[in-house]
Structure 1
Amino acid sequence: MSFDEAISNIGWGKYQIRNIAFCHVHLILTSFHVLSHIFVAYPMPHTCSSDVKNQVEKICNITLNDNQTKLLIPTKVDSADLNYCLQYSNPLPPNATAINCEFGENDFAVYSNQTTDCTKFVFTSDGTVQSSIIAQYEMICNKSWHNYLLQSLFMVGVLLNGMVLGKASDRIGRRKVLLLMTVGTMISSFAITFANSFPLYAALRTVVGFFCFISPTSKVLVTETTKTNKRALVINVAAFGFSSGTIILVVIAYFVKYWQTLQMLTSVSLIGGLVIWWYLDESARWLAARGRKKDAIKILEKIAKFNKVENPESLQSVKESLLDDSVGEKTKPINLGMTDTFRTPQLRKLTLVLTYCWFATSCAFYGLTLNVASVGGNIYLTTVLMGLMAVPAYPLALYLCQKVGRRFVISTSFILAGLFCSSMYFIPPELKALHITMFLMGRVFTLIPFSTLYLYSIELNPTVIRSTAVNYGSSWARVGAIIAPVIAMTELIHPTLPFIIFGLVTVLAGILVLLLPETRKVAMLETFEEADSFLTENSGPLQRLLCGRKNLG
């Protein structure tokens, strides 16, 4: 009896539904720490408290109003807009004691038009937030790249999360790693509130990235105790947690205008993660694969009792099968790494294609999500719409995953995301509503592959390496997220250039995934041999087109 048959025999019911809810909450908590940066690093309006203003006020014995102050600010080179990043380097003649204090049509003529960097900024609130790290650490003008750096450093932490903690969950168990992630996120996120310098904030933000991505391990744990025909439901309902978290965060941020308070609330929310951990069981499938079959049987008995399975003979057959059969490659613990996924040509193809797909979806998704403020409009409304648009998207993706297949959903979503993103190049700047609509459509179609790729990767990788492979792929997604801010900076060349690049990246992913087989109605693969055999006997339509092979893929 295979483990999937064992899971089917103990029923589908309250236990699995409870675990889906737990995973949903894990996604909500993860979204808080990913998306809080939108509000924590909100670009507050600023002006320069220039030396010329101070000198004029002193000599003329007046207080300049806003309109008068603007007369003393240099303008940008390519427009008449004021440049609050600069000030006049030598505004008055040496030892000047008097100037023309009449601010009429001729304005105030400075002694020299030479400019230098502003040394003192004044930040004001436009009503969106009352404080942000942009103001606290003066991440503007020649320091504006600090904001992009923070986004990249956070994803560096997430990259290390997949490489280190993903492998750890295959060695020491899913449940222990979930506890480590929850506690680590709570401590490091709370510590950020007291960061008194940019380097300290950046370091702690990287640590938060290392711990906060609970979702990949949580999804693996929940899926491993789920029947084959219910896995798509589990992944999509759980993944909706990210969008739920987006909406909840916007509501909180709307009322909490100070970044330290918002940061503290996201930290305290992890108490919910600790409560969930207390009720979570270790993966019975992982226990069996590691040779701990008696422990696995105890978990299966608990699941059967929770689901009120009334056929004791069915449960007894599961016990006997687990004790007699070899579930996994060996009955004793073994240490495997990502190099094992390159054992054969088929496994190498699988790993490389999935790696790029992870990279593409994350690069586009985070490139669009974390830079939502650059699109314009009301940031609260736009962010809420990002969350709400997942409401129809996830059920549609779930339906298509079950009726058509995972590969179709992933490929189609990638290609549509690319088309919507690229179309922004042809939209005139004055059509702001259409511009935001294309942005939101492109963003939602990068979200769908994010959730479906978890399911697809879980089904294509064998149990003995599943968590490592999923977290490895998820780590390469973070490489995409690290690069996303760099791509976003290309807007300095052309405002829509980032969207064209994101579009090309996702379209290529939509094409490459057609090299892989469909996994709908396929039992979980347990060993490397099973995975290699399945990939050899089945292939995607693109490979069949290129190689002329006829098979079940």
Structure 2
Amino acid sequence: MTPKPEDAQSYTLPQNNGYVNSAFVSNEKSSSANLSNNTNGDVRHTPQPTQPSRPIIDFDDLLPHIGDFGRYQKILFLLMIPFAFFVAFVYFSQIFITLVPEEHWCAVPELENLKYTLDERRQLAIPYDENDGYSKCTMYAVNFTYIHSLGIRKADPNWPKQSCAYGWEYNFTEIPYSTVATEFDWVCENAFLPTLSQSIFFMGAIVGGLIFGYIADHYGRIPALAGCNIIGFVAGVATAFVGNFWQFSVCRFFVGFAFDNCFTMMYILVLEYTGAKWRTFVANMSIAIFFTIASCGLPWMAYYIADWKMFAIVTSAPLILAVFTPFVVPESARWLVSQGRTEEATKILKKFEKINGRKVSPQIYKDFDESCKRMQEEEAENANYSLLDLFKTPRLRRITILLIVIWMVISLVFDGHVRNVGSLGLDFFITFTIAAATEFPADTLLTLTLDRWGRRWLAFGTMVMSGTFSLLAVCVPVGVPSAALAILGRFSVNISYNIGLQYAAELLPTVVRAQGVAFIHIMGYVASILAPFVVYLSHIMHELPLIVLGILGIFGGFLSLYLPETLNHELPQTLADGEEFGRGQGMFDFPCCAKQVDDDVDKECGNFQRSHSIGQASLRASTRGEYSSSMLQRSVRSRASFKSINTKL
């Protein structure tokens, strides 16, 4: 059980460009009174020795008083489970309803009427090549009734050929059910249609991010969370009743509205109410456990349901549970504060206090109310800045462009690996499960290393490893060797993905951080639109997708070396800070080898130093700021904004 917090006193806080200097405050000393409970639940004050006391200067300072991770936070943590399942269902389900078996060939109804077996039909009607097997897109252009009357049972390779005229037959041995792609024959000259529908899905994600970002800004996080899930439910169920490609694409476009929005808002809400020392656990475990379980279970749901229409309904129907969200999940207190609704925020916090079994002094809430007013003034001051300010000075412009390109590369490589599983030469369902399971060790390894090795070299190492493994997968035989290397590439880019958005949130100045991270996030969606087309390159050459993903991974890794390291550094607040940040750092500076220095050492010396405000600044960029932009919705990838930032504080 977390010890009862001390009764914090009010301070006259020094100001620095309109921002509270939390590093200064955290080192102040003052006397305080210890709150303790007697057996009757009454609060008594007992004299205590003079010791440091942290005043209420931000939302995070209030959390220890109501409970960092008490009973209510644990309930909210468990309530993340359905939303983590929702995002896995929305993201991956389209893969399983657009699968096309590797073996397919032209249907010849004439031979079926003549009672030929499958092998006899293929031998007589389908051109055969020693390397590629039976043709997928051509058939012999002859009169098969006449051929049958002559008693011929095997085709002459010199017979004329034509494109499939009567549809296709499919080998459903490895994929044991018909999909929307096989039902509507999206193969051969129409093989690009599943790829196009995937890209349309990501376009819907962009539009949905903008729409529900606006709703989250003006009407609250809970209406946005419930709304996007309801649209995902309606469009997902409607997918099962489509009659052509464009109907299917419209449905997937609206399902894209729910992509990540269906989880990210809940994810951020829970992190808002979780104390700093527990955020790393909550941020990582919600993804590593809940999302991974859903991702690994999804292929087997498809396998055993064995009906793409029923699968679409089963994976979409649970999203309707989001209508109960307003009854079990509290509104974002940070958003309420940003709207000037401090009394409502305080009411929610008192509910946390009650369920967690805490007793909080009225003075604490008074201090919180005063800090909220300062926070609103800060927001008003930041409103004078725009995204264009990131491109006005040379160093900050270079850093911003690098962050955009690197995040686009990471997004494209990650999504490319997700969708390229079918080209690895092994059982699709087993391979997908193993690849999805890499999320758990990737998150765990990141937690153990990110605050020790830093961002830059870990991003470089994991991206280069991803690219190297992808290229090596091309050089070994198709099957277990190539699949193993490709999965290692997926594992590595999982780590890179989780570093990406956090890196941006730390490097961009506070005054434009939310807008900058939002723009970078949107550019990642643009890159994801291209990922299905990279995977489609396998129709040209089987190894081409892995070659492209490998080259891009290595390219992005080397680009990350040109970014400044942020570990143990004060985060930039003003544009001037952003322009000077990292000046004096060498490319080969490595945090593990750097000498730790005191906080009062000049920041411009280039040494690594721990800032007391790192956790607050990053959390503020990831929760208050992101929805102010009306754009930033991505977990992953925004989930990275929280990962390990607050460890060791």
Structure-2-length-normalised TM-score: 0.73
Instruction: Supply the distance in 2 between the matched residues of 1:129 and 1:136 (Cα, whole angstroms).
Output: 13
**Are positions 1:65 and 2:127 aligned together?**
no
- Residue 416 of structure 1 aligns with which residue? 465
Separation in 1, partners of 2:544, 2:195? 17
1:4 aligns with 2:24: no
CA apart distance, 1:209: 0.9
| CA deviation string 1:316-360 (max 9, x = no partner) | 464254255344524699698755655665654554333323322
Alignment of 1:15-30 (within 5 A): 15-30=72-87
CA distances 1:292-312 after superposition (whole Å, capped 9, x unpaired): 333333333333444434442
Identity %: 23
Query: What is the 5 A alignment of 1:307-326?
Result: 307-312=356-361, 315-316=364-365, 318-322=367-371, 325-326=374-375
Conserved 8 A contact 1:231-1:455: no
Q: Which residue of 1 aligns with 2:127?
A: 75
Shift in alpha-carbon separation, 1:189–1:242, aligned structure 2, 3 A: same
Matches within 5 A, 1:79-478: 79=131, 81-91=133-143, 101-103=150-152, 107=154, 112-126=159-173, 128-214=175-261, 215-240=263-288, 241-312=290-361, 315-316=364-365, 318-322=367-371, 325-327=374-376, 329-330=378-379, 338-339=387-388, 342=391, 348-429=397-478, 432-459=479-506, 469-478=516-525
* More displaced stretch, 201-210 vs 240-249: 240-249
Query: Do the aligned partners of residues 98 and 545 (structure 1) sit closer, same or farther apart at CA in structure 2, a change above 3 Å counting?
Result: closer
1:36 aligns with 2:83: no
Are 2:59 and 2:368, in contact at CA under 8 Å, matched by a contact in 1?
no
8 Å contact kept, 1:359–1:480 = yes
Partners of 1:119 and 1:522 lie apart in 2 by 66
In 1, the alpha carbon distance for the partners of 2:578 and 2:161 equals 67
Letter in 2 for 1:222: V
Q: Secondary structure, in 3 states, of the residue corresponding to 1:270?
A: helix
Does the 8 A contact of 1:160 with 1:475 survive in 2? no
The CA RMSD over aligned residues, in Å, is: 3.5
| Alignment partner, residue 535 of structure 1 | 578
The alpha-carbon distance between structure 1 residues 81 and 123, as it changes in their structure 2 partners (threshold 3 A), is closer
When structure 1 is superposed on structure 2, of 417-426 and 269-278 the one drifting more is 269-278
Tell me, yes or no, if the aligned pair for 1:10 and 1:304 is still in contact at 8 Å: yes
How far apart are the structure 2 equivalents of 1:519 and 1:252? Answer: 42
Quote the offset at 1:440 in angstroms: 0.9
Q: Matched residues in 2 for 1:189 and 1:336: separation?
A: 40
Are the equivalent residues in 1 in contact too, given 2:584–2:606 (CA < 8 A)? Answer: no
Preserved contact between residue 139 and residue 147 of structure 1 (Cα < 8 Å): yes
The change in CA–CA distance for 1:425 and 1:277 in structure 2 (over 3 A counts) is: farther
Deviation, 1:437, is: 0.6
Structure 1 276/370 Cα, relative in aligned 2: closer, same or farther at 3 Å?
farther
Higher relative contact order (CA 8 A, sep 6+): 1
Q: Tell me, yes or no, if the aligned pair for 2:105 and 2:126 is still in contact at 8 Å.
A: no
Contact 2:419 2:535 in 1 (8 A): no
Partner residue in 2 for 1:46:
104
Shift of residue 78, structure 1, vs aligned partner = 7.8
Mapped to 2, the partners of 1:536 and 1:86 lie a distance apart of 61
| In structure 2, distance between residues paired with 1:540 and 1:512 | 17
Partners of 1:412 and 1:153 lie apart in 2 by 33
| Farther off after superposition, 448-457 or 343-352 | 343-352
Q: Which amino acid aligns with 2:89?
A: F
Instruction: Tell me how far apart the structure 2 counterparts of residues 280 and 458 of structure 1 sit (CA, whole Å).
Output: 27
Deviation larger for 141-150 or 502-511: 502-511
Q: Which residue of 1 aligns with 2:644?
A: none
Cα 1:216/1:510, change in 2 over 3 Å: farther
Partners in 1 of 2:346 and 2:380 — Cα distance? 15
- The alpha-carbon distance between structure 1 residues 8 and 276, as it changes in their structure 2 partners (threshold 3 A), is same
Deviation at 1:456, TM superposition (A): 4.0
Deviations 1:349-377 (A, max 9, x none): 55433332332222111111123112121
**How far did residue 32 of structure 1 move?**
0.7
Closer, same or farther: CA 53–353 of 1 in aligned 2, 3 Å: same
Q: Which moved more, 1:224-233 or 1:434-443?
A: 224-233
Describe the shift of the 1:248–1:462 C-alpha distance in structure 2 as closer, same or farther (beyond 3 A): farther
CA contact (8 A) 2:67 2:353 kept: yes
Deviation at 1:63, TM superposition (A): 1.8
Structure 1 residue runs without a partner (length 5+): none
For residue 260 of structure 1, report the CA deviation from its aligned partner: 0.7
SS at match of 1:128: coil
Amino acid at match of 1:53: L
CA deviations over 1:173-227 (Å, ceiling 9, x no partner) = 3333212211111111111111111110011111111223223434443334444
- Count of aligned pairs: 534
- Structure 1 stretch displaced more, 293-302 or 377-386: 293-302
CA distance in 1, matches of 2:384, 2:577: 23
Residue 551 of structure 1, aligned match among 583, 606, 620? 606
The aligned amino acid for 1:256 is I
Amino acid corresponding to residue 149 of structure 1 in structure 2 = L
